[in-house]
Amino acid sequence: MAKGLKMNNNYVAIMAGGIGSRFWPASRINLPKQFLDILGTGETLIQSTYNRFLKVCDEDKIFILTNEDYVGLVKEQLPDIKDSQILAEPMRKNTAPSIAYASYKIASIDSNANIIVAPSDHIILKEQAFINKVKQAFEFVSKNDALCTMGIRPSRPDTGYGYIQFIEEHEGETIHKVKTFTEKPNLQTAKQFIDSGDFLWNAGIFIWNVKSIIKAFHENLQEIGEIFDEIKGQINTDKEVSFIERAFAECPNISIDFGVMEKAENVYVLPANFGWSDLGTWASLYEEKKKDYLNNAVSGKKVIIYDASNNIIDVPNNKLVVIEGLENYIVVDTKDVLLICNKNKEQKIKEFTQDIKNKDWDKFL
């Protein structure tokens, strides 16, 4: 812990339960992308996220929200995490039930906790700028009944991100009231958003006081709030696991964005610029990787390229790969799967995986 950064009421909930299907075939059901060293830094994405948050709060105040299938991976990659800090989802019910679980768990420890909820598989290049924004957001929610999110200042009309529109200033010129949330728009709409100057990318990072989020569940997702009210006497006991199994079975499958953030009246956004990418697709990874003189982003030690450009190539280091004539393609070779797909059509990857599932070839997923 860096000196001066300890904040007793500040907690972190890292979401690490996703499958990462858009990164298939590198990301697989039994080893999704948050557990991979996609950037070649020597750290997996979840390790990078965890180490970043150690500069925000103590290690015992960091909780990992994951699927029960990935508990072993979490323990392996984050050996300092205690079992009590791993919140295992017995089934996939989207983000709202998981965040409710974390909120009630943390509330049982500290009834005045400030919590940041963040994905495990994003990259942040400007770490100090990020930490400064987190501290600012914690300060804001500690004094206001507010649900705060971070919005990234857009650099291009990207159709792969959700957008947040903000209105009146709330705290000087830094924190704004949210007007609307918009899911991934078409290109023309995205251009209009950028031109207007009052839209930000939705980074999926949330900050709130635990009292505010529990209140918001009761006001906007009453069913989940009532289910998790029962946890108060059972959390941190031998009944917790059986309660969570029953709670998740009863909870609706719904995201925190749709269930709470788009309905609540007290939602605010903190504009930020800290070198963020959600690494949601191969194309977004391509943007972050170093390129050769033909704009190819290559991972692999024995790759020979002829008249090929603007490709992202991810192949084993011990495999000789020769590529000629490809432009703007994704080439991914794993031990048992080879994917060759035009970057402009990478949205079809979900279609590919569904077709594979339909053929009962689940071992390749």
| End-to-end Cα spacing for the chain | 39
Going from N- to C-terminal start, the domains of the chain cover 10-277, 282-364
Q: Which two structure tokens, joined as six digits, stand for 299?
A: 């991972």
343, β-bridge pairs? none
pLDDT at 5 (0 to 100): 45
Q: Is the dihedral of CA 346, 347, 350, 356 positive or negative?
A: negative
pLDDT at 172 (0 to 100): 54
Distances (CA, A) of 55 to 4, 12, 18, 62, 151: 10, 11, 25, 11, 21
pLDDT at 96 (0 to 100): 94
pLDDT at 3 (0 to 100): 39
pLDDT at 120 (0 to 100): 95
Distances (CA, A) of 56 to 5, 99, 131, 362: 6, 19, 7, 40
* CATH code for the domain defined by 10-277: 3.90.550.10
Q: What are phi and psi of 271, to 5 degrees?
A: -65, 140
Q: Are 102 and 11 in contact (CB under 8 A)?
A: no
CA-based angle 298:302:304, to the nearest 5?
70
pTM, rounded to two decimals: 0.90
pLDDT < 50 positions in the chain: 1-6
Pure H helices in 116-259: 127-143, 187-196, 210-220, 222-229, 240-250, 256
